[in-house]
Amino acid sequence: MNRPPMYLVACAALAVAACSSENETAADADNAAPQASATEGRQYLSQPLISEIYTADPSAHVWDGKIYVYPSHDIEGPTPEDDLGSHFEMRDYRVLSMDKIGGPVTLHPVALDIDQVPWADKQMWAPDAARKGDTYFLYFPAKDKQGAFRIGVATSKSPVGPFEPQPEPIKGSFSIDPAVFTDSDGKSYMYFGGIWGGQLQRFTTGEYDPNGSKTDLQADDQPALTAKVAMLSDDMLQFAEQPRDVVVTDENGKPLLGGDHDRRFFEASWMHKYNDKYYFSYSTGDTHYIVYAIGDSPYGPFRYTGRILEPVEGWTTHHSIVEWDGRWWLFYADSQLSGQTRLRNVKVTELFYNPDGTIKTIDPFVSR
């Protein structure tokens, strides 16, 4: 794929219809004829938001009525695929924005490059963003010079950057996939972590153990490793407390076990609030589901409730959930454009709740 121009306006396949008519709605775009799938003759539910670069791990936010998406920027690298995700060799971030879902998507210039971050060595994985006052915060994981994942933060007066990084990672941060949720009372929390390549299992003592397990705790009958959550400081630049476990329980109130690969936490935390309940959602990794658990507090515990998204094309699955224009949207990614797990593309589709607050499971493929 050629290097794209620094700034361009993209009109993705899904959005072509919306681009061609000002009156077309997001629903019209969602109902556009799906393209034939490269996988098993199935058809994709939705189309990539952009095709000029490869993007994944979309964290979507609505600020001043506009939708901003903070994705990973996938690139072709030389490293062979392995179970630690060494082949995800991303080096910068670029922001997408759109005035409406189904409308034109703007791909903004580089918002943050790894060469700007003194402590970061490689692998800028899934980011998220937050806003407080007139400042925007970009949170990102990267490996430090010792090979340990840490989480950094960078600031800007614009939601699309450029962002200026803090010189050090967030004190006490570790692992990957930060997701920052701001509650109705203005308090912000970072959810983070990932097992296997995300290294949670190598931080169980508080220090990074480079020789630790490559996967998990390797104790299938014990509580699984959990995501972590910490309230952020008033300036949004540090943890205000020691990270706590994000406990997800089964129907009997017992923590999910390490062997429960269909339900236990793997990576890709996201938090949203619906009808005063806290919805913690995440990827189950090697079983490829996006699932969710519901709680009464941002700290949990959360009770496992069900699946949001069935497996997409490609190994990874990572999402965000946001309300826009009175409707709820799932941003996700697959490998439709490249057929390769390391080169992904972000998508969006509408998410629906049942009257009891459960979420209707989405199949990323449709049969027509």
Whether 57 sits among the annotated catalytic residues: the reply is yes
| CA angle at 202 for the pair 254 and 124, rounded to the nearest 5° | 105
Choice from 34, 85, 159, 298 touching ligand FUB (CB under 6 A)? 85
Choice from 55, 226, 316, 338 touching ligand FUB (CB under 6 A)? 316
- Positions 256 through 275 that interact with ligand FUB (CB under 6 A): 267-268
Choice from 14, 15, 56, 246 touching ligand FUB (CB under 6 A)? 56
Coil, strand or helix at 62: strand
Q: How far apart are CA 211 and CA 362, in angstroms?
A: 39
Minimum Å gap between C-beta 248 and ligand FUB is 17
Residue in 52, 57, 74, 128 annotated catalytic: 57
Residue with Cβ nearer ligand FUB (24 or 177): 177
> Residue 165 corresponds to which tokens in the numbers above?
């990084």
Give which of 283, 173, 167 is closest to 229, Cα–Cα: 173
Minimum Å gap between C-beta 148 and ligand FUB is 15
Give which of 67, 180, 62, 170 is closest to 128, Cα–Cα: 180
Residue in 30, 52, 128, 267 annotated catalytic: 267
Half-sphere exposure of 309 (CA within 13 A, CB side): 32
Coil, strand or helix at 200: helix
Let me know: does 313 contact 56? Beta carbons within 8 Å: no
Choice from 176, 225, 343, 348 touching ligand FUB (CB under 6 A)? 176
Minimum Å gap between C-beta 246 and ligand FUB is 15
Whether 115 sits among the annotated catalytic residues: the reply is no
Give which of 99, 97, 102 is closest to 25, Cα–Cα: 102
Which residues are CB-contacts of 145 (< 8 A; sequence separation ≥ 6)?
Answer: 119, 121
Minimum Å gap between C-beta 266 and ligand FUB is 8
- Positions 105 through 134 that interact with ligand FUB (CB under 6 A): 125-126
Choice from 46, 47, 51, 72 touching ligand FUB (CB under 6 A)? 72
Q: Looking at the annotation, which residues are catalytic?
A: 57, 267
Site of interaction with ligand FUB (CB under 6 A):
56-57, 72, 85, 88, 125-126, 176-177, 267-268, 316, 318
